[in-house]
Structure formats: structure tokens, C-alpha cells
Amino acid sequence: MELWPAIDIVEGRAVRLVQGDFARVHDYGDPLELARALVGRGAERLHVVDLDAARDGTGHNRAVVAAIAGAVAVPIEASGGVRSDDDVEELLGAGAARVVLGTAAVEDPEFLAGCAKSHPDRVVLGLDYRRREDGELEAASRGWLRSSGRTVGEVLAEAATLPLAAVVVTAIERDGTLRGPDMAGIASILETTALPLVASGGVGVREDLVALASLRSPAPGRALAGVIVGTALLNESISITEATEACTQSA
């Protein structure tokens, strides 16, 4: 299970939101300095999100994302506001190893399919979800501000045969809370798709990572491909070395 330390960017600053709420924000300083610091502490890859662009679709912080991709010698996964072929080309051309399509993928499956086929194994499907009262996991869009009306299962079924690098699933209600991941939701998604799955949201302690690394789908026994961790690493309540080691453990 690969560890992806997260850097979220709002108005040129590295931040963490609590449950996707732009009013509940913690500032972590300059994103480029943070990226260099995380790599210096052992990060082998980075998940970088332009939250301003995710919210309204414009690349407010794209220059910052590009600067990070050019400054560190590890793979960068770029996310946030990727809504066109030009956006994908720009981020890949700036040095991103792979690009996450969230809102555009949920709202326009044909766009996702076209991007995945044009850039095999370099496009990631991003699914941010909330649990509905009926128990279904519903995909959100527009920087977590809007419900899409589509279930995670529906979106995954449409994407099942695409040459995607991965699917990132984020439990919005857990994100930034350090309360632990949505184990039940992630386990159900792992059973739903054969695509490589990366979990995000809620990791607070080493044991959370061990629990995620231990998850297996009943058939054919698939495990998570990766995990995205933000606040716990930025607060250094878990070191990158400790987190990386935990990703290889099983309960």
C-alpha cells in the first residue's frame, strides 16, 4: 500500500480543511517549502490538490502545483479543477506523474473515458463521497460543495474497463478529522471495483494505516493500492517513516 502525503492549496497557501469545510481551515505555510520538507522527511510521492480550482473550476494555484512538480524528485499526483483536455495536458506537461479527475469525471463520464484512453495509467478517478440516509455512498462534486446525485457504485461501474492509474476515494465526513478512516465504506468499495483503489480521509494514528493495509476484498483477495494522509503527517503525529512502515504491515 503506497503512502501519498497530501498538500492541499487554497489562495497559494498549504492548508487542511475539516470535513471539506472551507470555513474550517488550518494553515501550514508555503506549499513549495512544505513539499520539499515532506520529501526531505522521506516522502516518496505527493498528492497535491488545488482546492480553489476544485471549488470553481479555475486553476488559481496551477503555477504552485507546477512549481512543486518541478522542484521535487518524486512522483506528483495533481488534483483539483481538472475539467478539460488542456488542463490534463498542462499538468502532465508541468511534470505531474498523474492527474486526478473528480468533478469532471462524475459529471461527464465520456470525458473521463477519453482522457484515460489518451493517457493510459496516468489518469486517476477521484471520488469524494458522503453516506446517504439510505446507506448508499453518494459522490460529491465541485470541491465537496455539491452532491452529484450519483452513487459511487454507479460511477465505478462506468469506469470499470478504463486504463486508469487508480481510483481515489475520499470519505468527506472523515477528512481532516483524525477520527480514523471509513473502514466500512472503503471495504465495500474495494469489493465493488477491480480498479486500483486509494483510500483517503480520517487517518490519525499508525493503527489506522495498519488496518487499511490489512483490508482485503473477499474475492480475489485484493488489497488497497494506496492511502492519502494529510493532517497526521503535517502535524507530525505520525512520521513519514512510521507511516511508510505501517503501510506494509497487516493486523
Domain boundaries along the sequence of the chain: 2-246
Q: What is the predicted pLDDT for the residue at 133? A: 84
CA-to-CA distance for 10 and 146, rounded, in angstroms? 18
DSSP SS3 for 121: coil
List active site positions: 8, 128
Q: How far is CA 210 from CA 19, 160, 191, 249, 250, in A?
A: 23, 27, 19, 6, 6
| Superfamily of domain covering 2-246 | Aldolase class I (3.20.20.70)
CA torsion through residues 10, 14, 17, 23, sign: negative
Q: What is the predicted pLDDT for the residue at 148? A: 65
DSSP SS3 for 137: strand
**Across the strands, what pairs with 17?**
25
Q: Mean pLDDT in each 10-residue stretch from start to end of the chain (251 residues)?
A: 97 89 90 98 97 84 96 97 95 98 93 98 96 89 66 96 97 91 96 96 97 89 95 96 94 65
The single-letter DSSP state of residue 201 is S
| Residue from 194, 201, 155 nearest 174 by CA | 201
Cell matching residue 227: 492511502
- Number of other CB atoms surrounding residue 27 within 10 Å: 10
Asked whether the beta carbons of 233 and 240 are under 8 A apart, the reply is yes
pTM equals: 0.94
